[in-house]
């Protein structure tokens, strides 16, 4: 990717030619695959032909968001911002979030077409080809939870259909022998990575996990 001056991006719009010069490395593409299985949102706004990425986490994960910004800052207009969300409809509690957006760029189109249809986000049928250990690490960073008492990892896949969750489990089990199972959780389904698979997960992902998120694989 041609290096862009981020401060310059803040004061002017990118031309079509400049947008076309942005590319994604294999490393960043692998991370985005994991993030898209998690909380990352890609969208097309104002009839733009190019997708924008929105990175967002609660304030407790501020360090993680700034880590992601360091990875993707060359694709962005501004640094992460802290803001309050609307009051929770059930509890009335106001939560604080940290977020940043990318520019609308053609280099994101390939992943957008794989992960989105007119009905929203999906699991691509070729997810087995896309998912790498680096992808899995960032998927767990985004949507994983480590249960200390049971020594298991839960992946919150509630937004996907049961068939899509089963596809993800099949890929995880076939690629890395993780013995994952599907758990009913509320109105949806989540993935459970059992205690006996923790040594495999830790060996596979320890070098890929950001330091502030290593606790999500029990480290």
**Tens-digit pLDDT profile for residues 121-164:** 999 999 999 999 999 999 999 999 999 999 999 999 999 999 99
Same domain for 8 and 99, yes or no, is yes
Checking if the pLDDT of 119 tops 60, the result is: yes
| Residue 101: C-alpha distances to residues 23, 91, 112, 165 (Å) | 17, 28, 15, 28
6 and 88 both lie in a single domain = yes
- Express each pLDDT in 157-214 by its tens digit: 999 999 999 999 999 999 999 999 999 888 899 999 999 999 999 999 999 999 999 9
Tokens coding 17: 């030619």
Phi-psi region of 149 (alpha: psi -120 to 50; beta: other; left: phi over 0): alpha
Both 87 and 158 in a single domain? Answer: no
Domain boundary among 122, 156, 175: 122
Residue 203 has φ and ψ, to the nearest 5°, of -65, -35
Single pTM value for the model? 0.89
Phi then psi for residue 55, to 5 deg, are: -100, 125
The answer to whether residue 219 sits within a structural domain is: no
For residues 66 and 55, is the Cβ–Cβ distance under 8 A? no
We report the CATH number of the domain holding residue 4 as 3.10.28.10
Q: Are 189 and 98 found together in one domain? A: no
Query: The domain containing residue 39 runs over which residues?
Result: 1-122
Q: Please tell me whether residues 9 and 106 are part of one structural domain.
A: yes
**For the segment 47-98, what is each residue's pLDDT rounded down to a tens digit?**
668 999 999 999 899 999 999 999 999 999 899 998 877 677 677 677 788 9
Q: Are 155 and 193 in contact (CB under 8 A)?
A: yes
- Helix, strand, coil content of the chain in percent (nearest 5): 45, 20, 35
Is the same domain home to 13 and 107? Answer: yes
135 and 116 in one domain? no
Distance CA 68, CA 57 (A): 11
Residue 159, domain member (yes or no): yes
Residues 8 and 115 in one domain: yes
């Amino acid at each position: 990717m041609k290096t862009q001056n981020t401060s310059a991006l803040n004061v002017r719009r990118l031309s079509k030619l400049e947008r076309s010069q942005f590319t994604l490395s294999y490393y960043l593409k692998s991370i985005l695959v994991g993030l898209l299985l998690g909380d990352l949102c890609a969208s097309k706004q104002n009839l733009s032909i190019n997708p924008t990425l929105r990175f967002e986490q609660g304030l407790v994960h501020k360090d993680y968001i700034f880590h992601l910004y360091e990875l993707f800052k060359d694709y962005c207009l501004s640094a992460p911002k802290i803001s309050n969300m609307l009051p929770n409809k059930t509890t009335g509690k106001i939560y604080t979030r940290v977020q940043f957006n990318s520019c609308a760029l053609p280099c994101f189109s390939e992943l957008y077409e794989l992960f989105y249809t007119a009905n929203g986000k999906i699991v691509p049928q070729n997810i087995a080809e896309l998912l790498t250990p680096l992808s899995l690490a960032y998927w767990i960073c985004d949507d994983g939870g480590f249960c200390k008492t049971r020594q298991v990892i839960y992946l919150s896949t509630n937004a996907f259909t049961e068939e899509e969750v089963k596809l993800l489990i099949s890929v995880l089990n076939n690629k890395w022998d993780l013995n994952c199972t599907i758990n009913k959780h509320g109105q949806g389904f989540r993935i459970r990575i059992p205690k006996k698979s923790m040594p495999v997960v830790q060996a596979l992902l320890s070098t890929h996990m950001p330091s502030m998120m290593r606790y999500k694989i029990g480290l």
